[in-house]
Structure 1
Amino acid sequence: MAAEKSLSEYDVVLVGAGISGINFAYRLQERNPELSYCILEGRHEIGGTWSLFKYPGIRSDSDLYTFGFPWRPWEEQSSIAEGARIINYMKESAAMYGIDKKIQYHHHVNNANYSTSSKRWTLDVTANGSEQKTFRSRFLFMCTGYYNYDEPLMAVIPGIEDFQGTVAHPQTWDETMDYTDKNVVIVGSGATAITLLPNLAPKASHVTILQRSPSYVMSQPKEDKLEILIRRLTWWSKPLEHRLIRWKWLLVPFLLTRFAYTFPNAARKMFSKAIQAQLPPTIPRDPHFNPSYNPFEQRVCFCPDGDFYECLRSGKGSVQTGVIEKVTPNGIKLTSGDELHPDIIITATGLKIRFAGGMKLTVDDKPYNVPEKFIWKGVMLEDLPNAAFVFGYVDASWTLGADATAQLMCRMLKQMRKEGVVEVVPRRTEAEKQSMTEEPLLRLTSTYVRKAKDLLPKAGSTGQWKARSYYYKDIWMAWFGDIHTGVEWVRGT
């Protein structure tokens, strides 16, 4: 006879103990203290991305003053930080507010079913690899990020299986791998490749980035002159210092991205000039640093204190632009006829996108098909009751979008209690269904994003169904915006 499953009940279940889950938990405690909650985390510790990736140099690709929690300022005098420091910061933040006591580790959510009769979510969970548990809650908030933790995106590279050297992927990095005095080729041109090159080069014989197409790589000082000035002027008040530096990091990137979207040609020239000034004479900007797209149409890569370009200037690193014809047992042959002869190939080819950590969603035991649905305010899914999905920004710190989501949902929870509402369900009108055109949820044109189009919900062209735009607008909407239009509010009986 099978053992009876254990049953746990909460008002809210958060799935994921990364930056989004920790932040959402804080907002619940701050604004809805009457609600009980837990966090279900499939891994062994807090951290999400920063716990998963172990490759050399893993670091933030946006500033920590806005990537950090708004309720616990990042206090180090460096805008970019390594993964280990980010995890420590997250653990300290969670412990400071008792959030760590609410986390259940090694709990993987397999299925989540919403019952319209009981107004409850039922989650089937595997704990510690084999134990089956059941959780019930009124609300389900998915703080799972947007990519597959279990499986990296493997690009099709002809002949890679024949290579007699070592093949590594950043997502499954072997920390015991010895690359001392080895010739390393990194296949890819994104943030991971830009991070790996200067961090592998000191020990390796030589490191080459092999890219099919180039990216924008911009230098970012760990501490700029304006931050130094702010610290000097506010020596008497740490809270004011933190507030001003955070405002600076909210404003400057916002102005830069708006400039790039509004004046793409001018932005392209500005970026190109900055890149050219840092390249050694031996590496021409065209074709190696002359992208076919405009800034922020794909992610712009940032390197702290120009370490990427410093590595190129030292001669320990180089860039090769071309298409792989075939990987041979002892090298890489390009369609141009050039050949590379690495000891190690690192495939930094992007992330495999996965929605909601791979959990299966059902409503009244009927499958819920995420790609067919539109997303309300970039937060709630059409026809999915009492649920939200936390999604950040692609051109600003992830935490900004995550916090806008958390504050919006906490406001809705408070309003539901005030009005005696037990269920909220985003619904498009018949007119909207007839007239609304589909828009991408992510504005990036990156290959891994295009491949995932059929896995993610859709954004709409009008009203509450438009894709997110920028933090200032979204946080204003979270505080004061319309939370009734496009949503069915069901009162209790």
Structure 2
Amino acid sequence: MAGPVDQDVLIVGAGISGIGMAVHLQMNCPDRSFGLAERRADLGGTWDLFRYPGIRSDSDMHTLGFVFEPWKHEKSIADGPAILDYLNRIVDERGIRDRIRLNAKVVGADWDSAAARWTVTMENDKGAVTTTTARWLYLGSGYYDYDEPFDAQFAGREDFQGQIIHPQFWPKDLDYAGKKVVVIGSGATAVTIVPSMTEKGDGKGAAHVTMLQRTPTWYFIRPAKDGFANFLRKILPEKLAYKITRFKNVRLQDIAFRRAREKPEKVKEYLTNKLKESLGDRYDAEAFTPPYNPWDQRLCLVPDADFFEAMKADKASVVTDHIERFDAAGIQLKSGKHLDADIIITATGLKLAVAGKIPVRVDGEPVAWNEHFYYKACMFSNVPNFSVVFGYLNASWTLRADIVSEYVCRVLNHMQQVGADVATPVLADPGSLTEENIFDFSSGYIQRALHIMPKNADALPWRLSQNYVQDRVDMRTGAIADGLLTFTKAGDAAKAAQAPAALEAAE
């Protein structure tokens, strides 16, 4: 018999992924109990952790928002506080806040086949250890290491007399008024920080902000406000206007990505012309011509061209060079140039983590994720009652979170219908699959983490697909009992193993 549990589903993480799953459970599995374990002192995940100036979404909120909750703000490219307000409103209106255990860092998860349950070990901010049990474990713990960002290990760091800051650990009330700031990096974080730290007429801005990049990035300029969405909201009911805008944005994202892959030269020309139009005589081909095609790395969004406006106002600049070393007054470059700095911000990227770095064991055996294949983009070969969210590289994170939540709810309901305690994607012969690296992105944070990532096959369902439009159909309408996802009762695996021994003894 299956052992008793504290909740049917334990959700790890109270950010976008975890909160989304909680609501989907309420809607699709109302008779199932659930709880959330959040390691931080408040909900929000990424949007609670990152506090750097200008923190904002790098995709529109009509797709980064949930399918079930319309985005009501005028700006579709939202800042961190607005996203936190959105999440807090959802947990309060839907009665989820009481289900969240804060300051509860999950430090271990153990599956027991005989009892068909997970025992999850948690540690609070004072070091006290507790356990809880669940039938299903759902990880909404994000994709990067919360404790440790990527460290580029620049020589001479100890010689620098100013402040060195990583955006992941932004100090509260940092005073940068009138100071010279160098931001190392050229991704979404750097492009957000640079214009946000420039002088805005309030006397609190930096004297000048320099973005130091080793390699240029492809930028995409779009308005922070979606005029089409705001027009629809005036003439249509809120939910219908949101649904239409979401559909429109999903389609445009899909078309843009496919066009970049099929006709990269055309997309390069389009993006370059938009940059020239925005920067005018400030356009510098060396600074804005990447050595890779658009969408070989994620496009970097620049809402309202704020980054380029700061450049035209002489408040910001871009330098393309390599770092020789830090020194007392700033950064010595390999070209021989020197960048003076009072503050250096190392926006050099994240460090990826699988399954929130949680040690997971199945019947006492540690799970090495790089030895397991993805199944349906959210489960893993031969790991029972377990799912995780890893968002799209070429679209909004929440698009995947929504369809994964819906799919897991379908699995839970099927288990109830057939009287099963355990759902396992069974892969008897991993050698029968042809492996493929579906992370065909050249981004540094992806390439650095390939060795720890779960495996991907060249065909569904054993892969983490990057095609939302196809995934949505498959996850919502595909057969649950597909011959690969196996449904069993508690202890069936142990009974099957004992049967040959019993037969031998009888003989």
Is the Cα–Cα contact under 8 Å of residues 275 and 283 in structure 2 kept in the other structure? no
Which letter maps to 1:408? Y
Q: Deviations over 1:286-342 (max 9, x none)?
A: 211111111111111112111111111111100000111111111211111111111
Identity score, percent: 37
Q: 1:121 aligned to 118, 134, 152, which one?
A: 118
Instruction: Say if 1:44 and 1:478 are closer, same or farther in 2 by CA, change over 3 A.
Output: same
Q: Provide the rounded CA distance (Å) in 1 between the counterparts of 2:214 and 2:125.
A: 42
Of the candidates 51, 56, 75, which is equivalent to residue 54 of structure 1? Answer: 51
Contact 2:373 2:463 in 1 (8 A): no
Q: Contact (CA 8 Å) 1:376, 1:486: kept in 2 or not?
A: no
Q: Give per-residue Cα distances to partners, 1:437-479, cap 9 Å, x unaligned.
A: 3223533221111111122212111231132122221111121
Q: Does 2:379 align with 1:380?
A: yes
Q: Which residue of 1 aligns with 2:502?
A: none
Q: Which residue of 1 aligns with 2:79?
A: 82
- 1:247 equivalent in alignment to 2:237: no
* Structure 2 partner of 1:150: 147
The letter for the 2-side match of 1:30 is M
2:101 aligns to what?
104
Quick one: structure 1 residues 376 and 128, their matched pair in 2 at CA, closer, same or farther if it must change by over 3 Å?
same
User: In 2, are the aligned partners of 1:280 and 1:312 still within 8 Å (CA)?
Assistant: no
Q: Which letter does structure 2 place at the counterpart of 1:178?
A: D
Contact residue 123 and residue 136 of structure 1 kept, 8 A: yes
Residue from 485, 488, 491 that aligns with 2:486: 488
- 2:366 corresponds in structure 1 to 367
Contact 1:464 1:486 in 2 (8 A): no
Aligned amino acid, residue 488 of structure 1: T
1:314 maps to: 313
- Within 5 Å, which residues of 2 pair with 1:93-492? 93-202=90-199, 203-231=205-233, 234=235, 236-284=236-284, 286-430=285-429, 433-440=430-437, 442-483=439-480, 484-491=482-489
With normalisation by structure 1, the TM-score equals 0.94
Q: Is the 8 A contact 2:75 2:226 kept in 1?
A: no
Which residue of structure 2 lines up, in the alignment, with residue 67 of structure 1? 64
Change (3 A) 1:428 1:224: same
CA distance in 2, matches of 1:228, 1:354: 38
Please say if residues 411 and 478 of structure 1, whose CA atoms lie closer than 8 Å, have aligned partners that are also in contact.
no
Structure 1 pair 159/128, CA: closer, same or farther in 2 (3 Å)?
closer
Unpaired runs of 5+ in structure 2? Answer: 200-204, 493-507
Partners of 1:11 and 1:42 in 2: how far apart? 20
Alignment match of 1:91 (pick from 88, 109, 121): 88
Structure 2 partner of 1:4:
none
Which residue identity lines up with residue 194 of structure 2 in the other structure? L
Q: Secondary structure at the match of 1:362?
A: strand
Q: Distance in 2 between matches of 1:226 and 1:185?
A: 37
Three-state SS of the structure 1 residue aligned to 2:451 is coil
> 2:215 is aligned with what amino acid?
S
Contact 2:185–2:211 (CA<8 Å) still a contact in 1?
A: yes
Give the letter for the 2:139 counterpart.
M
2:279 aligns to what SS in structure 1? Answer: coil
**Matched residue of 1:11: which SS?**
strand
Give the number of aligned pairs. Answer: 482
**Which deviates the most, 93-102 or 435-444?**
435-444
Instruction: Tell me how far 1:100 sits from its aligned partner.
Output: 1.2
Q: 1:424 to 1:228 in 2, by over 3 A?
A: closer
Q: What amino acid is aligned across from residue 350 of structure 2 in structure 1?
A: L
Contact 1:441 1:458 survives alignment (8 Å):
no
Equivalent pair of 1:57/1:82 in contact (CA under 8 Å):
yes
Inter-CA distance 135–224: structure 2 relative to 1 (3 Å threshold): closer
- After superposing the two structures, state which structure 1 stretch, 464-473 or 382-391, moved more: 464-473
Question: Cα 1:183–1:400, aligned 2, differ >3 Å: closer, same or farther?
Answer: same
Distance in 1, matches of 2:126 and 2:434, equals 43
CA distance in 2, matches of 1:272, 1:435: 45
Are the equivalent residues in 2 in contact too, given 1:66–1:399 (CA < 8 A)? Answer: yes
Unpaired runs of at least 5, structure 1: 1-6
Q: Deviations over 1:32-86 (max 9, x none)?
A: 1111110000011110000001110001111011111111100111111110111
Whole-Å Cα distance in 2 between the matches of residues 239 and 125 of structure 1?
39
Q: Tell me the distance in 1 between the aligned counterparts of 2:122 and 2:240.
A: 44
| Secondary structure at the counterpart of residue 278 of structure 1 | helix
Alignment CA distance shift 1:349-1:320 (3 Å): same
